[in-house]
Structure 1
Amino acid sequence: MSAPLSRHHATSVAYVGLFAALMAVLGLVPKIDLPFGVPITLQSLGVMLAGCLLGGLRGFQAITLFLIAVAAGLPLLAGGRGGMGVFLTPSSGYLVGYALAAGVTGWLMRWLPVHSPRRAATSAFIASALGGIVFLHLLGIAGLMLFAKLTLQQAIWIDLAFVPGDLIKALLCAAIVHSVAKAMPDWRMGGRTSCHA
């Protein structure tokens, strides 16, 4: 009985490490700097994918591992940024929110229908939109208010600049989930115990 548990644990650790590495790879894509101190990057796509494909717990663990590496000074954020200082900038709400958003996205994905590739893709878009956009952006707005000293209205207007791009990322996440569900029908979307739930 202990061998299967060990294999399951090893697989979970491998997936957590893999998605932390995916976040670093997405950081190699050049960022687009905006005047208010929060860049546009591709790394929020990794947050959505971690939640949808790994589930809430492992998605949270993967992004937390990535953020720990960033805090330790590794230049893994888009533009080669790293160190504790990045968590004291106007973008800190989004950065801290990455791990929590992956958890929320995964939790939502766990309860949405995934019994066909098309349904899994639709559920991935919904989970990504709610967890990876709405929830993450609320934390981002809080960070803008705290570190950029903006009013709530100003922070909301600035945050709206990220919504169109993040909707495209949610669609891309849904397309990737569709491909995974089609090629690997036993993949446990959202970390659920039954792949056909």
Structure 2
Amino acid sequence: MTDITKDAADALPAPAVSRSSVTTDIALISTFAAFIAVCAILPGIPTGSGVPITLQTFAVILAGLVLGWRRGALAVLLYLAVGLAGVPIFAEATGGLGVLSKPSAGYLLAFPFGAALAGVLATPAARAVGYARWTVLFSAGVFGSLLTIHVGGIIGLMVKLDLDLGAAVAIDVVYLPGDIIKNAAAAAVAFTLFRAYPDLLRNRR
């Protein structure tokens, strides 16, 4: 390459790919953060523990499955940051730092880890074919929620309600059937999105 050619190449504007990628990331992260908020403030099912059954877990896991571990976790972190800042986007239309004193604090704080782990475990979905892909996505959601959200929730129940491990697990078990259904639904939505928009699957990160 001659000096003139090199000078001309240097004078060209930088490729817009990175800028476009960042813009896309911000849009997706913001969209999923808003979706989690909507699922959180929809009327939930009250329970005796003070932690209502909501669609939050569905939205959190879906973020990880669709966006990938990094962007999924960032979407949840954005949601938490806005809610903790005082915007009433948590369950039962609450917001602010006061929610950290509630029994649900452990579940909330574990959400980013749930999205991240589900995103990591869903990586093989890119190579899976047909409904094997749904199986990968469903398994990723189940293990992502069980190993993070439920563990965090149990710890939170023990701390906030002064329970022993057995009592906290007994409360958490109530949420398992609903979470299995929500994970199945999240896998179905992700499966449908990936089939309609293959680039979404290829660009997970």
Query: TM-score of the superposition, structure 2-length normalised?
Result: 0.88
User: In the alignment, what sits opposite 2:116?
Assistant: 103
**RMSD of aligned residue pairs (Cα, Å):** 1.6
Whether the 8 Å contact between 1:114 and 1:189 is mirrored in structure 2 is no
Encode CA deviations 1:150-195: one digit per residue, 9 max, x unaligned.
0000001100000000000011011112211221223226825xxx
1:72 aligns with 2:85: yes
| Structure 1 runs, 4 residues or longer, greater than 6 Å off | none
Residue range with higher mean Cα deviation, 105-114 or 14-23: 105-114
Q: 1:172-183 residue pairs with structure 2 within 5 A?
A: 172-183=185-196
Gap runs ≥5 in structure 1: 193-197
Whether the 8 Å contact between 2:68 and 2:120 is mirrored in structure 1 is yes
Q: 1:135-150 residue pairs with structure 2 within 5 A?
A: 135-150=148-163
Matched residue of 2:93: which SS? coil
Query: TM-score of the superposition, structure 1-length normalised?
Result: 0.92
Gap runs ≥5 in structure 2: 1-13
1:19 aligns with 2:66: no
How many residues are treated as equivalent by the alignment? 192
Matched residue of 2:103: which SS? coil
Q: Quick one: structure 1 residues 67 and 26, their matched pair in 2 at CA, closer, same or farther if it must change by over 3 Å?
A: same
User: In the alignment, what sits opposite 1:195?
Assistant: none
- Residues in 1 aligned to 2:127 and 2:109: alpha-carbon distance in whole angstroms: 29
- Residues in 2 aligned to 1:72 and 1:191: alpha-carbon distance in whole angstroms: 29
Fraction of identical pairs, as percent = 36
Is the radius of gyration larger for structure 1 or structure 2?
Answer: 2
Equivalent residue letter for 1:148: L
- Residues in 2 aligned to 1:117 and 1:132: alpha-carbon distance in whole angstroms: 24
Whether the 8 Å contact between 2:124 and 2:136 is mirrored in structure 1 is no
Q: 1:77-92 residue pairs with structure 2 within 5 A?
A: 77-92=90-105
CA offset at residue 32 of structure 1?
1.3
